[in-house]
Amino acid sequence: MFTSGRSRTALLAVLAMVGSLLLLVAPAGGAEAASGTGRVRGAVYGGGISKVTMLWFTKDWTYLGRRTVHDGIYTLRLKPGTYRIQFVDQRPAYDVTKAAPKDIKVTIGAGGTKTRNVHMRRGAAVTGTVKAGGKVARGAKVVAANTSEQSFEVKANSKGQFALGGLPAGSYSVFTYDRKKRYVAKSLWVPRMKSGQAKNVSIHLNRKAGRLLVDVYAGPNPATGTPTVTVVSRSNGQFWSAKVRHGSASFSGLYPGKYKIVVPGVGNYLPATGKVRGGTVKGGRVAFGSYRLTKRGATVSGTVVDAKDPSYPLSGAQVLLFDKAGAKLGTATTNSRGVFSFGGQLTTQNGMTVVAQPGQYSAYLGKGTHYCKYGKKKSPTFVVHTGRNTTIGKVALPHLAASQQDSAEVCGP
């Protein structure tokens, strides 16, 4: 019996070796119009498919959510916009009758309903046997990656046999890791796979694998947290992923040679891809390399004050940052001087705004004669630039009406 792994989304948008599955959602009807949402719905067809998972994303493939499709019918509600939805057959990866994932793209309007039926078809399949160092490689992991940036994987059984079904039509690079990460080989190229077609291959891992430790820096300091980074062989495109721990990422079972690395954003430093400095991998040896993020994102700062007395800063105010489309990018709280700031993975863009308001649980801000109930205030639009700080100045919160204050004489508008 075969053991299956999950088809996975790889972290490389860089080398056409990465895997990523996507989806979409929307609402409908009078209630939807009132709430500013729309809907997409439809039936899912495909012989032999009993369980399907639906995933939805923004139009640029930012993940939003997932759910199971029941009884072959799906419905999703979303705010107006363009989305992508992917439907995935949940049969095991080793089932050669498994359907290939199906993607649709939908644009939704407020209060509208769109019907999109989905037809899923049997995918292609790769089967074969894996040997490592001349012996059967039981439990070896086999990965098939296509040029559409999707990857799928499965584990071989105790006899080194594997089957990987549900592949979208296309050409595939097939690479393999033995269970103990001792042997490697160059990828096999399996071209022009058609829906429903199966091809059998023999995989021989005949080179000793190496190890690589990469020190990852964000500017002058070691990377913090545990971001997942991916190294990619510059000779054959094979990739390996690992978490950064204490500023370093460790990889085993690597093909000998030089590597690139894909690093997500860390703090205010933007994601980047580049060559691992040093760290040329050799079979049976440990190599040491490094990589440094150098490009900082944009930052935004300002001060929240009392509109009745702009010289008085309001600490503890909540400030929300929005992009041009109205998507919330972050939340901050003003400090004792009324100052707020936003950083992270911001890049050059216009139409930005902030909304300042009291905290989530109370309308009160300020102290002494400024202890009042405040309303909210939206800033004018502004532009941010990668690597620079944008100061938007003072955001003045208005007092609520005198009738809503405990002391109308002090806190009235």
Q: Is 371 exposed, middle or buried (0-12, 13-18, 19+ CB in 10 A)?
A: middle
Domains 124-206 and 298-411 share a fold: yes
CB-based contact 44:73 (threshold 8 Å) = yes
Write out pLDDT tens, residues 315-354: 999 999 999 988 889 999 999 999 999 998 899 999 999 9
Q: Which CATH superfamily is domain 7-119 in?
A: Carboxypeptidase-like, regulatory domain (2.60.40.1120)
Place of tokens 């009160």: 364
Write out pLDDT tens, residues 98-107: 999 999 999 9
Nearest by Cα to 55 from 145, 150, 146? 150
- Bridge partners of residue 68, in order along the sequence: 53
What is the fold, at CATH topology level, of the domain defined by 210-293? Answer: Immunoglobulin-like (2.60.40)
Strands (E), 219-358: 221-222, 228-233, 239-243, 248-254, 259-263, 272-275, 277-278, 286-293, 298-306, 309-313, 318-322, 328-333, 339-346, 349-357
Q: How confident is the model at residue 386 (pLDDT cuts 50, 70, 90)?
A: very high
Share of the chain above pLDDT 90, in %: 72
Write out pLDDT tens, residues 162-182: 999 999 999 999 989 898 889
DSSP summary character for residue 264: -
Arithmetic mean of pLDDT, 88-107: 94
Q: Domain extents for the chain?
A: 7-119, 124-206, 210-293, 298-411
Q: Which one is predicted more confidently, 13 or 188?
A: 188
What's the chain's Rg over C-alpha atoms?
Answer: 27
Return the SS3 of 75. strand
Distance of CA 31 to the CA centre of its chain: 31
Q: How confident is the model at residue 366 (pLDDT cuts 50, 70, 90)?
A: very high
Domain 298-411 is found in CATH 2.60.40.10: yes
Query: What is the distance between the alpha carbons of residues 389 and 298, in angstroms, rounded to a whole number?
Result: 6
What CATH architecture does domain 124-206 belong to? Sandwich (2.60)
Residue 20 has pLDDT above 60, yes or no: no
